[in-house]
Structure 1
Amino acid sequence: MIRINLLPYREFRRRAQIRRDGIGIAVFLVIVGGLLTAAYFHLQRVEQRHQARVTYMEDALDRIEDKLAEVNQIKEKRQGLIRKLEVIQQLQDGRELSTNILQTLGQAVPEEVSLSGMEQTDNGLNLEGDARDNNAVSSFMRRLEASTLFRNPDLRVIRGKDDGEAVKSFTLAVSLARGDESGQAEGGG
């Protein structure tokens, strides 16, 4: 029988197999390397886009903060103007107050009462005067309460004079009605 030595053939096949496996591994490594490189560059582009977006947002935020500061300055100026307008309105409302007080007092004082003093306080008036009797003072207080300008007349002191006549001296406090109360009384009356 013929003997054939298959050892070199097996060795040749094993080397060819190792070569094929080595080429396969090299191709796999090249593909994996290519994919990793492509992924790296893709992630770099994504990071650049995100960085550009962050920069844009920061710039937009800075612009918004500048606008907000400008709006706040305008609001402060507006509040200042509103306060000034309120002061002007109060001055306008108070401009005619003294005239209205004197006119209303002139209409409310009965013939039996004479006023000798008047002092304006923060929330009303203190009135001093003389009256023929208690009924005249009472009538004066009712007329003040019926007016649209005065509220809550309060008799502080009433006393007889020492000069022998029946004249009574009195001190009276009366509150001024607020502008909205007097406006409602005028509109409703």
Structure 2
Amino acid sequence: MILINLLPHREAARKRRRENFYASLGAAALAGGLIAGAAFAWLQTQITDQQDKNSLLQAEIKKLDVEIKEISTLQAEIAALRARQQAVEDLQGDRNMPVHLLNELVRQMPDGIYLTSMTQDNRTVTVQGMAQSNERVSELLRNLGNNSPWLLKPELIEITASTVALSARDQRRVANFKLRVGIKRPTDDQKKDAPANATAPAAAKG
């Protein structure tokens, strides 16, 4: 006996395929939603962790800023103390500067020179006087520049010729001169020696 199926099997097959497609589509949408939710939750966790790290770093930076300010204050105090110490040392050295100046002028003064005035401005001394000749002035400048441990950089400002009346009949030509010379502090040599002494231990270690 032959059985013939008169039901619309093509429509039923299409319906099944459509149902399967919708079911697959729904499953894909659900899976996508779960994945997106998991990714969002993971990103939120990462953002929260990073914000916590940023807060910790900001707190540490604030602490470091406070420490840096304290260090800057200490450095300023140290610099002020060094400046005061240097000022005291300079004052102590300056007490003996007039003594050294007068001693050196007496020692380095050649014969035939007479000083008329002397003024000091800080560490510069201006000397005026009379000499028997220009050669005497040149000798004085050489002595001050080469032979004196306390005087340095002598500089002739001006020299003019004039006459001096020793008596009614005796007149002599002289050279009026004006020169400038610097004075060394005793601490100047110590400052020069300090860097050499500081590098000596380092060289010994090497």
TM-score, L = length of structure 2: 0.66
CA contact (8 A) 1:145 1:153 kept: no
State whether structure 2 residue 154 is matched by structure 1 residue 172.
no
Give the Cα separation in 2 of the matches to 1:40 and 1:113. Answer: 100
Q: Deviations over 1:48-85 (max 9, x none)?
A: 11211222222222222222222322333333333333
Change (3 A) 1:159 1:138: farther
Give the Cα separation in 2 of the matches to 1:123 and 1:136. Answer: 25
Counterpart for residue 126 of structure 1 = 126
Give the Cα separation in 1 of the matches to 2:155 and 2:27. Answer: 109
Q: Tell me whether 17-26 or 87-96 shows the greater mean CA deviation.
A: 17-26
Give the Cα separation in 2 of the matches to 1:54 and 1:40. Answer: 21
Give the Cα separation in 1 of the matches to 2:9 and 2:139. Answer: 143
Decide which of 152, 155, 166 is 2:154's aligned counterpart: 152
Counterpart for residue 199 of structure 2 = none
Change (3 A) 1:86 1:6: farther
CA contact (8 A) 1:127 1:173 kept: yes
Residues 33-182 of structure 1 mapped to structure 2, 5 A cutoff: 33-110=33-110, 112-122=112-122, 124-129=124-129, 133-134=132-133, 139-148=139-148, 149-154=151-156, 156-164=159-167, 165-166=170-171, 168=174, 170-176=176-182, 178=184
**Identity fraction in percent:** 19
Counterpart for residue 204 of structure 2 = none
Name the SS of the counterpart of 1:93 in structure 2.
Answer: helix
1:129 Cα offset (Å): 4.2
Give the Cα separation in 2 of the matches to 1:40 and 1:70. Answer: 45
Residue ranges of structure 1 left out of the alignment (5+ in a row): 184-189
In angstroms, what is the RMSD of aligned CA positions?
3.4
Name the SS of the counterpart of 2:37 in structure 1.
Answer: helix
Change (3 A) 1:50 1:151: closer
1:44 Cα offset (Å): 1.0
Name the SS of the counterpart of 2:165 in structure 1.
Answer: coil
Give the Cα separation in 2 of the matches to 1:157 and 1:99. Answer: 30
Name the SS of the counterpart of 1:7 in structure 2.
Answer: coil
Change (3 A) 1:22 1:169: closer
Which amino acid is the alignment partner of residue 173 of structure 1?
A: L
1:173 Cα offset (Å): 1.4
CA contact (8 A) 1:150 1:174 kept: no
Q: Deviations over 1:17-68 (max 9, x none)?
A: 4444444333333322221221111111111112112222222222222222
